Structure 1
């Protein structure tokens, strides 16, 4: 056990205790957490700052408002229902179309109006929220993923998670939905995590269920060497989120829409550490380097460029 811990330390892998003590507690003011824990607040802040996000069709706040659902989605055959305070992808329903009077879930199942309304009722009750508190249901645009991802994704939209420290991207990975994850880009539910070279935007290592993989488990397509579209724009977008919410250490989740380009999906004040496993390298040296910087570049573009340089040097 001690040898394993020593090897992880030598590899520069950041553990939970160090992440919490040295970065989250020091750089994330508790009062700012609601800005990222509440997806509705995050979306409104992003819109005000000119940062692209999936369009919000409507919000259901109380049980009585559930009857408004048909009006909210009347002009949209596809949409997403998600809890405003959810985490880990729980409670998210992706509706990809309609067949007769039923809504088609992205897993292929068909839902009646009553079943979808019942799900929204569960969201409002706090079934999927942090701490089980009463919640709101967001109805928003369904992202159409770039067709370039088709060979390495299963029935879902891949997303790119970037850890940002003091406004500088430190590490990124793309999370690829699988059959096991039910089309969701969530590693704990069975998605594939592929590390990304910050300098080039190309995928490197990949893990699935904490095991190294070279091919997508459902499509058989190779994962490494895949070039992420709009990479420089995506890094700048992640950097901009530092000013957006004021958190010094955060995770930024971005999706790539085939028509709209990069869209910020959500932010996280307590991003997980599995991104290091996906990349096959720890973040400690880069975090320490950034922590020692007396001054941080003012512009998001400069910070993104610094991140690409650090990935090569540190």
Structure 2
């Protein structure tokens, strides 16, 4: 489809931040559920009870003296990810993709030693990356091996899929691709590419970087118009299942496709951004209102995923 300007999007039902905060986040998200999504460790534990896969947990570092155990554990690993449990926006995440002698190789290609990783763990425990600057814990996870068909579109980072879920229904989705500008992270504000996805098929619609339309990835040079996500219905059902796991009525579900394990949950967000509308070239409001008008909500995640595919497919 042709590119639609932000002004046109507003006329087509663009959800703005004030309305998102008041009519959807404040209205549909119970405060008691926030700790489940603001803490990645709690998220992993609760979604596992609902059959939602996540990267394998290798270690939890809660105290300074446990950092020495991390070094022993990491000796036998070629790759892993270190994350602050209460971090946000990708802050504090360090991804190690390989080894070079005594050094660890980051996703960007930079080489760091064990002392660097130990200092990073100390900073996490001190709360340097936590939402409120409070003491935190570090989690060490197995390295995601992205599906090669998707990985080739991303630059020095794992591509992920953000799905907005409202009252248990997937309502909008986009693929996020890392770039040099985003330093290998799938964060649109830092310069990652956002690719809108047809909710009915998982195929790409539009692509943007810094809210401007693009047709080629700025680093790989690959065209972004014929991307198709595999296991699409499974991903939508997995996203829908996170509603039962958390009780959050409005959230962002971030998934990745692992080459061996298939779709897996990376994290949940109780305050998802609105740039997904620009990537899709359409507003969220009409879809949210469709769900609000339902007289008989669907009981199972599979039924909600199928309803979303049928109702919100691009024409």
TM-score > 0.5, shorter chain as reference: yes
Query: Does 1:271 pair with 2:272?
Result: yes
- What secondary structure does 1:306 align onto? helix
Cα deviations across residues 29-86 of structure 1 (Å, max 9, x unaligned)?
0011000000000001122222111000000011111111123324321100010000
Structure 2 equivalent of residue 56 of structure 1: 57
* Cα separation, 1, equivalents of 2:309 and 2:126: 44
Q: Could you tell me which runs of 5 or more consecutive residues in structure 2 were left unpaired when the two chains were aligned.
A: none
Structure 1 equivalent of residue 290 of structure 2: 289
- What secondary structure does 1:220 align onto? coil
Q: Could you tell me which runs of 5 or more consecutive residues in structure 1 were left unpaired when the two chains were aligned.
A: none
Question: Do the aligned partners of 1:93 and 1:105 also contact (CA within 8 Å) in 2?
Answer: yes
Query: Does 1:136 pair with 2:130?
Result: no
Question: Do the aligned partners of 1:57 and 1:73 also contact (CA within 8 Å) in 2?
Answer: no
* Cα separation, 1, equivalents of 2:151 and 2:58: 27
Structure 1 equivalent of residue 219 of structure 2: 218
Aligned ranges 1:203-242 → 2 under 5 Å: 203-242=204-243
Question: Do the aligned partners of 2:6 and 2:278 also contact (CA within 8 Å) in 1?
Answer: no
Structure 2 equivalent of residue 96 of structure 1: 97
* Cα separation, 2, equivalents of 1:151 and 1:176: 10
Q: TM-score, normalised by structure 2?
A: 0.96
* Cα separation, 2, equivalents of 1:310 and 1:217: 33
The size of the alignment, in residue pairs, is 311
Q: TM-score, normalised by structure 1?
A: 0.96
Structure 2 equivalent of residue 123 of structure 1: 124
* Cα separation, 2, equivalents of 1:302 and 1:260: 24
* Cα separation, 2, equivalents of 1:195 and 1:5: 15
Say what the alpha-carbon RMSD is for the aligned residues. 1.4
